[in-house]
Amino acid sequence: MQDYFYTLADFISSQLRKDEIYLCEFSGEQSDFIRFNRGKIRQPGSVEQYYLELDLIRGNRHAIGKLTLSSQLRLDQDRIVTLLSQLRDQLPHLPADPYLLYATEVQSTESIGRNDLPETSIILADIIDTVQHTDFVGIYASGSSFTGFANSFGQRNWHSRYSFNLDWSLYYKKDKAVKTAYAGFNWEKIQLQNKFSNALTQLEVLKYQPRVIKPGQYRVYLAPTALYEILQLLCWNGFGLKAQQTKETPLLRMLAEPKQTFHSSVTLCENTADGLSPIFQNQGFVKPNQVTLIQQGAFHAALVSPRSAKEYGITTNGANDEESPTSLDLAAGDFPSLNIVETLDTGIYINNLWYLNYSDRAAGRITGMTRFATFWVEQGEIIAPLNVMRFDETVYSLLGSQLIALTAEREFIIRTDTYEKRSDHSSRLPGALIAAVSFTL
């Protein structure tokens, strides 16, 4: 598809008028999707789709349109001609954009991922062999994803990756389930078996009589999947320059005087080099391999989109329009995961959180619910499931004053969204042992 996209880009260049500039982004996938229920395949399917988004610029006015590609050159060229005509008709009626900024220095790149995935039939056989005779429910998604960029200055960028994401639950009854996932670039049956074995162990505990505890503060272990939900909430205006300048960031107290900080073990990066998302964005700027957002607990740098760069007179670091991380990376700690339950001693082991939101955004205070397999631990032993509870706590407590340690082992998590296409957002996170978390209900 790379050559095909470049052919279309050259065609667009040939259709331009003298005063016109174009930016275009290609996106596509060749994916398999397989749904499971009660440990059996219920709905297999495949998707092959390609899109082209075109931004036509004249002076400080620009119009954006998107079309579906057919992979038939003549047909797609006709569609592009029609789209260009529509965008030209719109341009005179659009206001000038004072914050329009796009790359004019040509920085062409090529990153072609290796396909290390076995045939889907082999992976499905591994899954069925592992989960047979259980109420295994989930979806497996895998395949190739492509992103390209081109402009009228001659810049060409290409990015392809091959990944898989198995998002699943083991059900006991009603809302009693253990939810987990296995994602990455290299499929290993032993990794699936280890995760499945751990889930089976937790499923047995869900059969015990649930424990009810009073609201209050408790020692807590957050598994990487639970910590993921907290950090995803922080990504909502947490790390962007625009949100900082408008005082909408939930990390406002890290910027004000006196500055609040996280625990010194917290170093958080946008690690594009090791993620799924491309190293370029749709205005043609190439991202650095890493942007350190939090360094040893202190604010270090913001994500700066081209629009914010133009508005505030700062150099862009290639962030997307939302200025949200797409390849989040929290540095590992030095605490072995094998010792978690023993060191937790008495407290709450949380696998998943949901319904998170801000209860006081300016103060960095968040609230949410426990979900699925959450357990009461006593004297270093998991003894009972807990009924659903609500927590309310500041991130300065969770990742700061009350944080005891981060685990040495980390989990690679791919966002499960499949709206329009499979998501290319990923995170690499440890678990977190926390001295005290406030539960309100």
Q: For 1-16, write each residue's pLDDT tens digit.
A: 999 999 999 999 999 9
pLDDT > 90 in the chain, percent:
97
Domain that holds residue 93: 2-205
Residue at 36 is within a domain: yes
- The terminus-to-terminus CA distance of the chain in angstroms comes to 53
Which CATH number goes with the domain that contains 41?
A: 3.30.2290.10
pLDDT class for 174, splitting at 50, 70, 90?
A: confident
Structure tokens that stand for 174 in this block: 């009603």
Q: Which of 205, 225, 259 is the last residue of a domain?
A: 205
For the segment 56-86, what is each residue's pLDDT rounded down to a tens digit? Answer: 999 999 999 999 999 999 999 999 999 999 9
What's the pLDDT at 146?
96
Q: Which of 182, 205, 228 is the last residue of a domain?
A: 205
Residue 191 dihedral angles phi and psi, to the nearest 5°: -65, -45
Q: Which of 174, 205, 236 is the last residue of a domain?
A: 205
Q: Which residue has better confidence, 229 or 175?
A: 229
Give the separation between CA 123 and CA 335, rounded to whole angstroms. Answer: 32
Question: In terms of domains, do 27 and 169 share one?
Answer: yes
Q: Is the pLDDT of residue 104 over 90?
A: yes
Question: In terms of domains, do 254 and 189 share one?
Answer: no
Q: Is the pLDDT of residue 372 over 90?
A: no
Question: How many domains are there within the chain?
Answer: 2
Mean pLDDT for the stretch of residues 193-222: 95
Question: In terms of domains, do 271 and 312 share one?
Answer: yes
Question: In terms of domains, do 177 and 86 share one?
Answer: yes
**Dihedral angle of Cα 360, 364, 370, 372, to the nearest 10 degrees:** 130
Question: In terms of domains, do 197 and 221 share one?
Answer: no
Q: Is the pLDDT of residue 349 over 90?
A: yes
Q: Is the pLDDT of residue 175 over 90?
A: no
Q: Is the pLDDT of residue 371 over 90?
A: no
Question: In terms of domains, do 194 and 343 share one?
Answer: no
Other C-beta atoms lying within 10 Å of the C-beta of residue 172: 17
Give the separation between CA 79 and CA 71, rounded to whole angstroms. Answer: 12
What's the pLDDT at 439?
97
Question: In terms of domains, do 295 and 201 share one?
Answer: no
Residue at 211 is within a domain: no
What's the pLDDT at 420?
87
Summary mean pLDDT of the chain:
96
Contact (Cβ atoms closer than 8 angstroms) between residue 164 and residue 117? yes
**Dihedral angle of Cα 226, 230, 236, 238, to the nearest 10 degrees:** -140
Other C-beta atoms lying within 10 Å of the C-beta of residue 68: 10
What's the pLDDT at 61?
97
Mean pLDDT for the stretch of residues 361-369: 96
Question: In terms of domains, do 221 and 200 share one?
Answer: no
Residue 179 dihedral angles phi and psi, to the nearest 5°: -105, 135
What's the pLDDT at 406?
98
Give the separation between CA 225 and CA 351, rounded to whole angstroms. Answer: 6
Residue at 257 is within a domain: yes
Mean pLDDT for the stretch of residues 190-194: 97
For the segment 397-424, what is each residue's pLDDT rounded down to a tens digit? Answer: 999 999 999 999 999 999 999 888 999 9
Question: In terms of domains, do 71 and 131 share one?
Answer: yes
Question: In terms of domains, do 184 and 224 share one?
Answer: no
For the segment 115-141, what is each residue's pLDDT rounded down to a tens digit? Answer: 999 999 999 999 999 999 999 999 999
Q: What pTM was computed for the model?
A: 0.94
What's the pLDDT at 36?
97
Question: In terms of domains, do 20 and 109 share one?
Answer: yes
Residue at 106 is within a domain: yes
Question: In terms of domains, do 176 and 229 share one?
Answer: no
Residue at 381 is within a domain: yes
Residue at 210 is within a domain: no
